[in-house]
A and B are shown apart, each in its own frame.
Chain A
Amino acid sequence: MSRAVLVDLTRCIGCRSCQVACKSWNDNPAEQTKCLGAYDNPPSFSADTWTVVQFNEVEQADRLQWVFAKRQCMHCEHPGCVAVCTVGALTKTPEGPVVYEASRCIGCRYCQYGCPFGVPSFEWDKPLGLIRKCTFCVDRAEEGYETACVKACPTDALTMGTRHEMISEAHRRINARPHKYHGHIYGEKEAGGTSWLYISPVPFEELGFPMLDGEPMDYASSVIMNATPVTLAAAVGVLSGLYWLTKKKSQAAEEEG
């Protein structure tokens, strides 16, 4: 059964304990930051920052809402990063996490393109750099603990369970308080579904979430890639055939000549 986290933005108070919990559990050092003219910091994901809470001032129908959204690896059901990784260093486990096996990685950074959420980050400062990203606290999970961020969340804005349970819980909350939520469950369908699911008081466009359809990132490429053996056989066949034809033609010409 695949694990998932439901992020309820109506409950998040923007305290960012999840951000520190992530650094703390993963022994990630702090970054040098500066005031960006808002509370958000660090400005982006990086090799040392795997989750960031964004602060959104959303004005709708004369009402100003301050909506906080924790962002991190979405642990897609059909992860783009996994699809493109040259060496299979990234894998989607049946339990949910998209895990990264550092010992395989060659540092090609294709995963950074493959991810629609801008998640994998590269260790630019190291001579031998690797990719770093949220692990879904796969080690904690294996021992039966919640992820560091889910555990740290004061208001249960983060809830962990099976993906199926979390989707039902999201529906339950939206149905129980329809006025409080914008009805969409982000991640239920997006990019083929994700293990991190969001419900929000405002449309997700307002929060800058990528607007994705239900197709996995690698939908098109995998059709082509899966056709590789066919292409291969066809190429060999066509080339051999052409060769045979032209050879025959030229031999005939020679004989004639």
Chain B
Amino acid sequence: MTTLAMRKPSTTGKIVLAILALVALLGVGTGIYRLVVGLGATTNLSDAFPWGLWIGFDFSLIAFAGAGFTLAAVIYILNLEQYRPLARASVLTGLLGYTAVLVILLIDLGRPDRFWGFVVFWNYHSPLFEISWCVLLYTTVLALEFAPMLFERFNKPNIVKAIHSITIPLVIAGVTLSTLHQSTLGTLYLALPNKTDQLWWTWVLPLLFYVSSIGMGLAATIFVWILGSKAFGRDVEVDLLGGLAKGSIWIWVFYLVVRGGDLLFTGDMAAVFAFDSQSIWFWIETIIGVILPIVLFSRASIRASQGGLFIVSLMAIVGVFMNRFNATLTAQAVTQYTVPAVSEVASYSPSWIEYSVQFGVLAAVALAWYFAARLLPIFPETAKEGH
């Protein structure tokens, strides 16, 4: 059994791990405090801004964790076997991403004690209902996909084999569930036609969310792979990642055509050039997340460079994060009714506790990824599984 356990972290690595642990610990503390005293006392959320940092991150992280279904589809559905080495890491990224989503969601709920509510009480008209179910089921799928790594580690080949035998149905289920909820995250805003700014509200929003989650999944795979490899001092498979990057160009081109075409078609193009705060945010997310990745990934030299891959995939990631945050915050009108005498417009900036919990969870996830990769057969050199 080969693991990366023997590869001790460097001093810098230790410092990073210590910081991550500290941030995670602080996150746990503030998270518990939030659960005890309530949302009002700990967050800057209000009836004007019922959703803030946490929900913004949640919806972004779901896209990020799209790494799981994207790679699964690439490898198993499109049968592009060359990418199989990346499979386990992307499953881990997916699983940990969704775990983070669930933890934050729990903290954000008014009644975390009733998180199971959607299992019992159904409202199939609600996008969030569908998302909840899909996330629950998909996380289960991810857990099953992840299970072989654990069982391999603990030498249970029968179980591993059993799970492998249902790989294809699992992958199809996973990709299907992801298709549903990644797009339904867009539908979620479609239900808010009078609140969501015209630059984001469009009939094709579910499609845009779905497509961008694929682009994000590819970018996330590249990003995590490079970061993970660096953490363990292993060489990065630049050619493999370059292939993903090349593929993602077409995803982003498709995205751009759909979004641009929609804006032209619906006549909202004028708003794009209004250069108010919405249009400026629109430009930032589109340039960083879509246009620059297309342009830069088109250059073979960048695709062949570890740094180039890292930076450009990070851009795409940041762009999609922005897109999800914009849809959740920038694009949303204040939800609360106020009397005309109230002249100042309500505003929102997260409280330190919101940051603390958020980054705590992210740090914990990063730590979990690190230790999983260290202890379990995630990277190809540690995996038993052959081609």
The answer to whether B339 and A36 have CB atoms under 8 Å apart is: yes
The answer to whether B340 and A54 have CB atoms under 8 Å apart is: yes
With an 8 A cutoff between CB atoms, is A210 at the interface? yes
- Pick 27 A–B contacts, CB within 8 A, sort by A: A38-B340, A43-B341, A56-B340, A83-B125, A87-B120, A104-B121, A105-B110, A107-B114, A110-B128, A110-B188, A117-B337, A118-B336, A127-B36, A127-B37, A129-B111, A220-B190, A220-B203, A224-B190, A228-B184, A231-B180, A232-B180, A239-B73, A239-B175, A242-B77, A243-B79, A246-B79, A250-B81
What 10 A-B pairs are tightest by C-beta distance, nearest first?
Answer: A107-B110, A124-B40, A118-B337, A246-B79, A38-B341, A221-B191, A88-B123, A40-B339, A87-B121, A109-B50
With an 8 A cutoff between CB atoms, is A71 at the interface? yes
Using Cβ atoms and an 8 Å threshold, which residues of chain A touch B124?
225, 228
Given contacts A37-B341, A104-B121, A127-B35, contact A217 B335 (CB under 8 A): no
Complex CA–CA separation, A243 to B337 (angstroms):
51
B6 to chain A, nearest CB (A): 37
Using Cβ atoms and an 8 Å threshold, which residues of chain B touch A83?
125-126, 191
Interface centre among B76, B184, B191, B338 (most CB of A within 10 A): B191
A203 to chain B, nearest CB (A): 14
The answer to whether A44 and B203 have CB atoms under 8 Å apart is: no
A250 to chain B, nearest CB (A): 5
The answer to whether A54 and B339 have CB atoms under 8 Å apart is: yes
Using Cβ atoms and an 8 Å threshold, which residues of chain B touch A114?
191-192
A59 to chain B, nearest CB (A): 14
With an 8 A cutoff between CB atoms, is B45 at the interface? yes
- Nearest-neighbor residue (CB-CB) of B108 within chain A: A108
With an 8 A cutoff between CB atoms, is B254 at the interface? no
Q: Mark B182-195, 1 if CB is under 8 A from A, else 0.
A: 01100110111111
With an 8 A cutoff between CB atoms, is A145 at the interface? no
A52 to chain B, nearest CB (A): 6
The answer to whether B78 and A218 have CB atoms under 8 Å apart is: no
**Measuring CB to CB, which residues of chain A are less than 8 angstroms from any residue of chain B?**
36-46, 52, 54-56, 71, 80, 82-89, 104-110, 112-119, 121-131, 207-208, 210, 212, 215, 217-222, 224-225, 228, 231-232, 235-236, 239-240, 242-243, 246-247, 249-250
Complex CA–CA separation, A242 to B79 (angstroms):
9
Complex CA–CA separation, A215 to B125 (angstroms):
16
13 new A-B pairs (CB below 8 Å) besides A122-B47, A239-B172?
A37-B341, A43-B342, A84-B125, A84-B191, A85-B123, A105-B114, A113-B195, A118-B337, A124-B46, A220-B190, A224-B187, A232-B176, A235-B179
Q: Mark B47-81, 1 if CB is under 8 A from A, else 0.
A: 11011000000000000000000000100111101
With an 8 A cutoff between CB atoms, is B132 at the interface? yes
- Nearest-neighbor residue (CB-CB) of B111 within chain A: A107
Complex CA–CA separation, A235 to B45 (angstroms):
37
The answer to whether A86 and B126 have CB atoms under 8 Å apart is: yes
Q: Mark B80-114, 1 if CB is under 8 A from A, else 0.
A: 01000000000000000000000000001111111
Interface centre among A36, A117, A235 (most CB of B within 10 A): A235
- Nearest-neighbor residue (CB-CB) of B206 within chain A: A224
With an 8 A cutoff between CB atoms, is B138 at the interface? no
Name the contact of A243 in the complex, choosing from B168, B334, B338 (C-beta under 8 A). B168
Given contacts A106-B114, A220-B193, A250-B81, contact A243 B341 (CB under 8 A): no
The answer to whether A217 and B193 have CB atoms under 8 Å apart is: yes
With an 8 A cutoff between CB atoms, is B308 at the interface? no
- Nearest-neighbor residue (CB-CB) of A248 within chain B: B79
The answer to whether A124 and B132 have CB atoms under 8 Å apart is: no
Using Cβ atoms and an 8 Å threshold, which residues of chain B touch A235?
175-176, 179-180
**Measuring CB to CB, which residues of chain B are less than 8 angstroms from any residue of chain A?**
35-41, 45-48, 50-51, 73, 76-79, 81, 108-115, 117-118, 120-130, 132, 168, 171-172, 175-176, 179-180, 183-184, 187-188, 190-195, 203, 206, 332, 334-342
Given contacts A83-B191, A106-B110, A246-B77, contact A119 B342 (CB under 8 A): no
Name the contact of A212 in the complex, choosing from B40, B108, B194 (C-beta under 8 A). B194
- Nearest-neighbor residue (CB-CB) of A207 within chain B: B340
Name the contact of B117 in the complex, choosing from A37, A46, A87 (C-beta under 8 A). A87
Name the contact of A123 in the complex, choosing from B109, B110, B180, B193 (C-beta under 8 A). B110
The answer to whether A130 and B50 have CB atoms under 8 Å apart is: no
Using Cβ atoms and an 8 Å threshold, which residues of chain A touch B108?
108
Name the contact of B40 in the complex, choosing from A36, A54, A129, A243 (C-beta under 8 A). A129
- Nearest-neighbor residue (CB-CB) of B172 within chain A: A239
The answer to whether A86 and B132 have CB atoms under 8 Å apart is: yes
Given contacts A124-B45, A128-B38, A250-B79, contact A89 B121 (CB under 8 A): yes
Using Cβ atoms and an 8 Å threshold, which residues of chain B touch A208?
340
Name the contact of B191 in the complex, choosing from A37, A54, A104, A220 (C-beta under 8 A). A220
Complex CA–CA separation, A243 to B183 (angstroms):
22
Name the contact of A247 in the complex, choosing from B79, B112, B125 (C-beta under 8 A). B79
Given contacts A220-B203, A246-B79, contact A225 B130 (CB under 8 A): yes
Complex CA–CA separation, A51 to B81 (angstroms):
62
The answer to whether A228 and B129 have CB atoms under 8 Å apart is: no
